[in-house]
Amino acid sequence: MLSIGSSTQGASERYIQSFGCSWLRHIMDIGIAKGYQALDGVIFSAGTCDSLQNVSDIWRKVFSEQWAYNLTFPVLTDTKAAVEYLQNEFETLVQKISEKFPDNPHGFTITDSIKLYNRKRINLQKLLSLVSERRFRYSDFFKLALLGDILPIETINPYLSIKIEQVESSSQLTIPDSPRLLLSGGMFDSFRLFEEIPEFDQIVTDDLSFGARNFKFSIPQSGFLQGYAQAYLERIPDPTAFDMEKRWKGLEEAIRHHNIEGVILLGMKFCDPDSFEFVSIQNNLKDLDIPYLTLETSPDLSNIQQIQTRLSAYIEMLS
């Protein structure tokens, strides 16, 4: 994540509504302070929380030099009509991108892109399995997962493959095999939290929007837009989808598969979707007799010491 100085924090206050979350304000603060010149365009998902749904017009005003597009996702995800609708949205998006950016300097086709991104998903799944085996630190994994969304795909894939080979060639365990923690949450993307608090390396798998939920699916290479729509709608949903049945099914499967002994619920301050889903997850964890710890933070990690104190006490209780 990019960081900004205190003198630029709050620059977005004149643009963001009062209900805008801390994550959204942080992203806008960075853009106003440093700009997003490296981006040719931004695609907004019109199927997320209220804060993000209302920011696309604001973004067009603040960053008027950028191309911006709204991609609308269906509310109901388990119907044939939903797949057809999302496929049509993807087809329109591809057409708009081709019209806006007719040049293709890399010569990539969509099929090529699908192969590359499926390979990235497979690599990240493998690295996460090595985290579960205690052969790779979670903090290192999460950093690579974020880099996978920042670096060019043709750069990150070879690097991930090399990292997997290095880890697999060593039989040394990274950390002791207890306790085994699962990290669940939504829009959190600050790897510094995990770097500065070593106790987070007790995590053996996650359920974050920028973590495992981002790559636990693949896209078929034939009929790719329909396949992409189908795969995306079947994936474990983010908190903004409010599909608790599917959310809990994915969490329960991860708990059993990875022999989880404790769950950390990590949420952003003032994020209503995180807060809403945590109540249901906590009740389900109580039914399974799984101890949980709920943590709340902000992009600037202003309460990092408090988080470390609470996490240390939680791990000591489990040990």
Q: Quote the crossing angle between the two packed helices 224-234 and 80-100, to the nearest 10°.
A: 120
What are the residues whose beta carbons fall under 8 Å from the beta carbon of 298, sequence distance 6 or more? 22, 23, 26, 268, 269
Q: Which helix (H) or strand (E) holds 41?
A: strand 41-45
Instruction: Establish if 281 belongs to a structural domain.
Output: yes
Tokens of 35: 């700009």
Closest CA to 115 of 212, 215, 219: 219
Could you tell me if 221 and 115 are in contact, meaning their C-beta atoms sit under 8 angstroms apart? yes
Please check the confidence at residue 28 and state whether its pLDDT lies above 80: yes
Q: Is residue 40 part of a domain?
A: no
> Does residue 205 lie in a domain region?
yes
pLDDT of residue 30: 80
**Does 65 fall in a domain?**
no
Q: Cis omega (within 30 of 0) on the bond before 179?
A: yes
Of 54-58, 206-210, 312-316, minimum mean pLDDT range:
54-58
The C-alpha atoms of residue 147 and residue 163 are separated, in whole angstroms, by 13
CATH number for the domain harbouring residue 268: 3.40.50.11900
What's the pLDDT at 72? Answer: 87
Residue type, 154: E
Sorted by sequence, the CB contacts under 8 Å of residue 7 that are 6+ apart come out as none
User: Which of 139, 154, 300 is closest to 204 using CA atoms?
Assistant: 139
User: What does the block give as tokens for 200?
Assistant: 């987070």
Tens of pLDDT, residue by residue over 177-210, are 679 999 998 777 788 888 899 899 999 999 888 8
CA contacts within 13 A on the Cβ side of 42: 21
Number of domains in the chain: 1
Residues in the chain: 319
- Is 97 inside any structural domain? yes
Residue 103: what are its φ and ψ, rounded to 5°? -80, 140
Q: Residue 208 belongs to what domain range?
A: 73-318
For the full predicted model, state whether its pTM sits above 0.75: yes
Query: What pLDDT score was predicted for residue 144?
Result: 93
pLDDT single digits (tens) 257-282 = 999 999 999 988 777 777 788 888 99
**Phi, psi dihedral angles at 150 (to 5 degrees):** -115, -50
pLDDT digits over 212-238, tens only? 888 887 777 666 788 888 888 888 877
Structural domain contains residue 198: yes
d(CA 217, CA 234): 8
d(CA 182, CA 163): 23
Task: With both helix axes pointing from N to C terminus, report the angle between 110-132 and 153-168 in degrees, rounded to the nearest 10.
Answer: 30
Residue with tokens 């249901």: 280
Q: How far is CA 168 from the centre of its chain?
A: 25
Within a domain: 17? no
**Which tokens go with 176?**
């002791």
- The residue-averaged pLDDT of 11-27 equals 76
Q: Is residue 16 part of a domain?
A: no
Q: Would you tell me how many other CB atoms lie within 10 Å of the CB of residue 71?
A: 15
Answer yes or no: is pLDDT of 158 > 50.
yes
Mean pLDDT of 93-110: 79
What is d(CA 280, CA 292) in angstroms, rounded to the nearest whole number? 13
In whole angstroms, what is the distance from residue 310 CA to residue 105 CA? Answer: 50
